[in-house]
Structure 1
């Protein structure tokens, strides 16, 4: 046989082909993501209602999204269904419900009467919400869990749409055409937006355990609180979130007066690019 001719392998010399199993595709936990999708729908619903001039329903949509957003993480921890997908989905939902939706609602309600100043204020709020969520995701492992670094976006959104809900409940219509109210809305949008990106510490309530026993009087106080809120839901919710929106600055001043550190960063990082987040 010529050396140029290919050799035909015998049956005994044939290589055995081993079938490698296909990698198993990862699934998605449905229960916590249902809450996240419901929160996303609340934000989308709020935008649609604002486009149709129904600002009370828009405010209710944001508040419902806030309640659902507070439940998805707890449900994931209770059922041991945490996942990286759920974390990313939650951040995207928050950006729509507590970033874009409140900015568009207050623009349609009042800020469009201010021209360029109006849409700039709405954009500042929306951009600050995005920056706050991005900083929260990158700083999640180094922040003291008892406090938020800056006002959380759901509270900022609740304060903004709560103001709209109170004014709409009082009978104010076509606010964008009024002389003073658009500027009041302008101030609220800037305050809520800029407070989200400050380093001011806001209490997170994460150290409150629902599994601990409490005195009977605590349950009575909770029932009384619910009854008081029902006296005038828009006004009470707006008042509560305004108090919370100011509380961070109170904590900041109190810590300064006591000589305590005001930063909520628990540990330093080795990455120099993150020093600015302190």
Structure 2
């Protein structure tokens, strides 16, 4: 059996492994380490598809495995992170416990019930990934915000709180109504009928990837100037650029007819 056809799946499993570690850190409340391993998982997620296309070994197994890995790295983890942010924002001193002895009383929940609202992100991510697997329109682009982009949006919040704690920004992020609105927005964008360009390269030719190269350079500039605050700006820019590019393509198609 050729090892070549297993290389993309091994990379995908590395995504799943990184995501699993991120889950552990997120449950423990170590959101910086959770963000690091989510970013590592997304890195592997980018290269598994690239490897499959380069080696010409794309398969149905790879497609399903990729979605399962994304469900953990970009679905479960951001839901837990949003849950943890709600715990900090909601009134009271409740906090999820990782002490095994706390499970002796099964009827006691030692956290604010409202924090469960953040797990809607995980549900919406699962629904989005299931739709993606059966939607033939998303072979070269996306319909709705990809789960990795949504995960980066949510994971940027604790990084901003920790490394760029401006009082005004902290008060906004740790407001339960802001988190509720962001959760609803996240769930909507994951499944919205909005065409978005994909960052996956079929070739490295500049002529075929002008928009992608421009966006990458734009992202690097924003990150250099704004650091972690740049991540929400990048996600918003990604959506706006996609809408502009889609509108331009439609106008060119109408002009050609």
Considering only CA atoms, is the larger Rg found in Structure 1 or Structure 2? 1
Residues 88 and 174 of structure 2 are in contact (CA less than 8 Å); yes or no, is this contact kept in structure 1?
no
- The one of 209, 229, 246 aligned to 2:223: 229
- Equivalent in the alignment of 1:190: 184
Aligned residues: 227
- Equivalent in the alignment of 1:32: 8
Higher normalized helix content (fraction of residues): 2
Q: CA, structure 1 residues 166+145, in 2 after alignment: closer, same or farther (shift >3 Å)?
A: same
- The one of 86, 102, 106 aligned to 1:110: 86
Which ranges of structure 2 fall in alignment gaps of 5 or more residues?
A: 91-111
- The one of 149, 163, 174 aligned to 2:143: 149
Q: Does 1:100 align with 2:96?
A: no
Q: CA, structure 1 residues 210+250, in 2 after alignment: closer, same or farther (shift >3 Å)?
A: closer
Q: Does 1:70 align with 2:66?
A: no
Which ranges of structure 1 fall in alignment gaps of 5 or more residues?
A: 1-24, 262-278
- Equivalent in the alignment of 1:270: none
Q: TM-score under structure 2 normalisation?
A: 0.72
Further displaced range: 42-51 or 224-233: 224-233
Give me the whole-angstrom Cα distance separating, in 1, the residues matched to 2:172 and 2:217. 40
Q: CA, structure 1 residues 82+133, in 2 after alignment: closer, same or farther (shift >3 Å)?
A: same
Q: TM-score under structure 1 normalisation?
A: 0.67
- Equivalent in the alignment of 1:43: 19
What does 1:222-261 align with in structure 2 at a 5 Å threshold?
A: 226=220, 229-245=223-239, 247=241
How far the C-alpha of 1:28 sits from its partner, in A, is: 9.0
Give me the whole-angstrom Cα distance separating, in 2, the residues matched to 1:179 and 1:161. 12
How far the C-alpha of 1:232 sits from its partner, in A, is: 4.8
Q: CA, structure 1 residues 129+223, in 2 after alignment: closer, same or farther (shift >3 Å)?
A: closer
What does 1:129-208 align with in structure 2 at a 5 Å threshold?
A: 129-139=125-135, 141=136, 143=137, 145-171=139-165, 180-205=174-199
Further displaced range: 223-232 or 180-189: 223-232
- Equivalent in the alignment of 1:119: 116
Computed over aligned residues only, the root mean square deviation of the Cα atoms, in angstroms, reads 3.9
Q: CA, structure 1 residues 192+63, in 2 after alignment: closer, same or farther (shift >3 Å)?
A: same
How far the C-alpha of 1:44 sits from its partner, in A, is: 1.6
Further displaced range: 49-58 or 94-103: 49-58
